[in-house]
Amino acid sequence: MVKLAAPLLALVLLAALTVFTDRPLPPADFNFINGTGVTTIDPQRMSWMPDMRLCRALFEPLVRNDVFTPGFDIIPGVAESWEVSDDGLTYTFHLRDDARWSNGEPVTAPQFVYSWRRALLPDTAADYTALFQLIAGSQEFFDWRSAALDAYVEQPVKNRAAAEQLWQDTLAKFDEMVALDAPDDRTLVVSLYEPTPFFLDLAAFATFSPVYPPLVSQYETVDAETGVLRLETGWTKPPLIVSNGAFQLERWRFKRDMYLTKNPHYWDADAIAIDSIYAPVVSDPNAQVLAFETGSVDWVTDLAVSYRADMYAQKLAFYREHQAEYDRLKASGMDHMEIDRHLPSDPRKNIHAGPAFATYWYNFNCLEKLPDGRVNPFHDPQVRRAFAMAVNKETIVKDIKRTGEPVASTMIPPGSIGGYVSPRGLPFDPERARAELAAAGYPDPSQFPTVELLFNKDSGHDLIAQSLARDWQENLGVKTRLAQKELKVYKDDLKKANYMTSRAGWYGDYGDPTTFLEVNRTGDGNNDRKYSNPVFDDLLDQAKLELDPAKRMAILSEAERILVEEDLPLIPIYHYVQMYLFDADKVSGVTPHPRTNQNLFLIDILGDSKGPDVSRRMPTPAHKPGSTDEGQEP
C-alpha cells in the first residue's frame, strides 16, 4: 500500500528536523568542497557529479569499481559474489549477510527490486531510466504503465480508490513482466534482453544503489486525478534518512553545508579511515581556493578559478625546469601525485591535473519549435553544421582554458576506449559554414533570428559563451545574445529545452561508447537536445545485438559519425582536463583514473593517529587506501 506520513507525524518530524540541523557538530576529520553542491541524494533521480559523489558515500550498490586499477575492475559491494549464465543474459547476485542499513536493519534483495522499479517507472521521469531498460521486460512494462496512465486520465471515474487499484495492478504487472526477481532475501536474479558486456559496470553506478522501502514508501502517494505515483523528497533529510553506505547523513542545510559521519553498521566499517566529513557549499571559485589556502578545506574537487591557467602554467614551468628528474620518476611508474611528493619544491604541488573521460560541448535545441512557439532554425541539421564549423575551438582551449584541454571534434575522447576508432568530426571552416547556412535558406544572415546562448554562472562558462558568440557573429554574420543564469534556473531550462543553444558537458558513466552515445537516443532522459534520428537509434539497437566486439565497435563508430559529421545536435568543444586542489602529503585516497569516480570512503588523512591500522584498510589486494603509493584524480 502506498501511503504518506500522517500530518501530525509530519509536524513532529519537522520540529525534530529543525532542532537536529541547528545543533552544533564537532569539527570533521575531512573537509571538502563538492563542486557546486548537491541537488538531490535520491539515487534513482540524480544525474549530476556532485550528487553522485555524495551518493557513493551514503549508499552502496551491488558491486563497486576498484578505482585504482586501470580497468576499473569490478569488486564486491552489497553482493559478495555473483554468477553470469553461459549466454550472458542472466546475472545472479548473492548478497552478503552483514550488509546493513544505517538503522541496523539488513539490506535485502527485495529492496533492490523496489529501488530499481522506481527507476523504471515512467512516473519518475528519471534521467537514467534507459540504463535500467536493459533488463528483459522493462521496456514493455514502461509502455504498459504509460498506456495505463493515459487510459486512466480518460476514464470518467477518477478517485483515490481507482488510483490505488491502478497502482496495485502496476505492481502485479511489474512482477509479471520484468525479469528482476528476489527468490529470497539474499539472492537477486536479473535477466537482460541481450548480452551486455558492461552490465556489471552499470550495476556499480550510483543510480543502481538501493533505498530503504519502509521509509521511502512513506513519501510516495498516488495522485487521484492522474494515477501517477508522486515522489516526495522528505525522506532524504536527516534525521530521517536511512542509507547503507560507509557514511550516514547527520546534517544537510540546503545551499549551506552537509555533514556526514561513519555508518557504524556498514559491513566494512573497520576499513574506513575517517569518522566524519564536512562539505560546505562555496559557490564562488575564488572563495574555494581561499578556503583551501587558509586550511578550512582539504580538497577542492573542481579548480575553476579564472586564473587557474596561470596556476597550471607555473606547475608546468616547474616540471620543465626539472624535466630530467620528472622523466626518471615517471619512467619508474610513479603517478603525478607521487612525483609531486618527490619534488617537494614545486610551488604548485597541490594542483593535480590530467585527462578526464569527459567532453564539454554546446547543445542545439533540435525541436521544430521553441518553447515560446517560434519556429526553431536549429531544427535543421544543415544550420547546425554551419554553426559548428564556424567555431574556432583552438581559440577557446589556447586563449581561454589554457590548461591543456585538447580540441574536441567527437563526443567520445579519442583513445579512451580500447578497440574503438573515433570518426573525424567537422573542421573549423568558416567559408563552408557560410555556404551551409545559405543553402539552408539564409543567404542573408541578418535575417537569421538572434541566437541565444544559455549558460550558468562561474567556472568560466561566460568566456566560452562570449567566444562562440563572437565566432558566430564574425564568421556567419548572425546576431547573438548571452543568457547567463543561476545554476538551478539553467538546469531547469536545460531539461525543459527552454533555450536555443546551451553549454553542456558529459562525464562517461561506464567504459563503453554507449555511455556517450545513448544520451542522444530519442526520448533518453539525458537527451536535453531533444534530438531524434531513427537511423542513429537503429545503429544503437544493432550494436546491442552484435556479439562480435570489433563489429559492434564499428557500428557505434558509425553512430558517432552521424552525430559529429552530419546531424550535429551538439558541438564538441574540448575534452576535459580535471583539476583538483589538495595536499597529497596530507590527503590520501584520491584516484588518478580518468573516470573520475572519487570515493569518499577511501579518503585518509595521512599521519592522523585516529585512523585504524593501515592493514585493515585493504578492499582489494590492488589498493591500499592509507598507503603512500596512491594517485590523485586528474
**Residue 208 pLDDT greater than 80, yes or no:** yes
Considering the entire predicted model, what is its pTM? 0.80
230 and 369 inside one domain: no
Cα gap 419→423, rounded to integer Å: 13
Look at residue 47 and tell me whether its pLDDT is greater than 80.
yes
The predicted pLDDT at position 573 comes to 98
Strand segments, DSSP code E, in 347-500 are: 351-364, 451-456, 480-485
Q: In what order do the strands lie in the sheet with 187-191?
A: 79-84, 90-95, 187-191, 180-184
SS3 label, residue 91: strand
pLDDT score of 177: 98
Task: Compute the distance between CA of residue 622 and CA of residue 197 in angstroms, rounded to an integer.
Answer: 23
Q: Give me the pLDDT at residue 607, please.
A: 75
CB 173 within 8 A of CB 138: no
For range 194-211, the mean pLDDT: 95
Average pLDDT over residues 46-73: 94
Is 213 contained in some domain? yes
Is position 451 within any domain?
A: yes
Does 421 fall in a domain? yes
Report the chain's mean pLDDT, rounded to a whole number. Answer: 89
Are 512 and 366 in a shared domain? yes
Q: For residue 136, what is the domain's CATH number?
A: 3.90.76.10
**Looking at the domain assignment, is residue 247 inside a domain?**
no
Confidence of residue 23 (pLDDT cuts 50, 70, 90): low
Q: For residues 247-261, give the mean pLDDT.
A: 95
Quick one: average pLDDT of 214-223?
97
Q: Is 296 part of a structural domain of the chain?
A: no
The pLDDT, as a whole number, for residue 615 is 28
Residues 68-85, mean pLDDT to the nearest whole number: 95
Q: Mark whether 235 and 359 lie in a shared domain.
A: no
Which pLDDT value is given to residue 509? 87
Residue 16 has pLDDT above 50, yes or no: no
Given a cut of 60, is residue 20 above it in pLDDT?
Answer: no
> CA angle, corner 278, sides to 277 and 279, nearest 5?
120
Work out the average pLDDT over 12-30: 61
CB 563 within 8 A of CB 517: yes
Q: Is 147 contained in some domain?
A: yes
Peptide bond into 27 cis (omega under 30): no
The DSSP 8-state label assigned to residue 127 in this structure reads T
Same domain, 233 and 375: no
* Residue 373: pLDDT over 80: yes
pLDDT at 21 over 70: no
* CA torsion angle 249 251 255 256 (round to 10): -130
Residue 112 forms beta bridges with which residues? none
Q: Within this chain, do residues 233 and 371 fall inside the same structural domain, yes or no?
A: no
Give the rounded percent of residues in the chain with a pLDDT score beyond 90: 76
Last residue of a domain, one of 239, 272, 287: 239
Please report, for the domain that includes residue 542, its CATH number. Answer: 3.10.105.10
Query: pLDDT at residue 279 above 50?
Result: yes
- Domain end, chosen from 562, 577, 592, is at 577
Per-residue pLDDT band for 12 (boundaries 50, 70, 90) equals: very low
Residue 334 belongs to a domain: no
Point out the domain boundary residue: 239, 274, 303.
Answer: 239
Sign of the CA dihedral with 633 first, then 519, 53, and 256 last: positive
Strand pairing of 587-588 and 604-605? antiparallel
SS3 464: helix
Q: What is the pLDDT of residue 14?
A: 36
Contact 476, 506 (CB under 8 A): no
Q: Which domain covers residue 425, as residue numbers?
A: 355-577
Rounded average pLDDT over 247-263: 96
Q: How confident is the model at residue 610 (pLDDT cuts 50, 70, 90)?
A: very low
Helix axis angle, 461-476 to 381-389, nearest 10° = 100
Distance CA 252, CA 258 (A): 4
622 or 54, which is more confident?
54
Taking only the tens place, the pLDDT of each residue in 162-192 is: 999 999 999 999 999 999 999 999 999 999 9
- pLDDT the model gives residue 78: 98
For 507-537, write each residue's pLDDT tens digit.
Answer: 998 889 999 999 999 999 899 999 999 999 9
Of 7-11, 119-123, 396-400, the one with minimum mean pLDDT is 7-11
Counting the structural domains of the chain, the total is 2
Which DSSP category does 239 fall into?
Answer: T
Residues 37/202, Cβ–Cβ less than 8 Å: no
CA distance 402 to 466: 16
Predicted confidence at residue 608, as pLDDT, reads 59
DSSP for residue 615: G
Residue 366 within a domain: yes
> Mean pLDDT across the stretch 355-373?
96
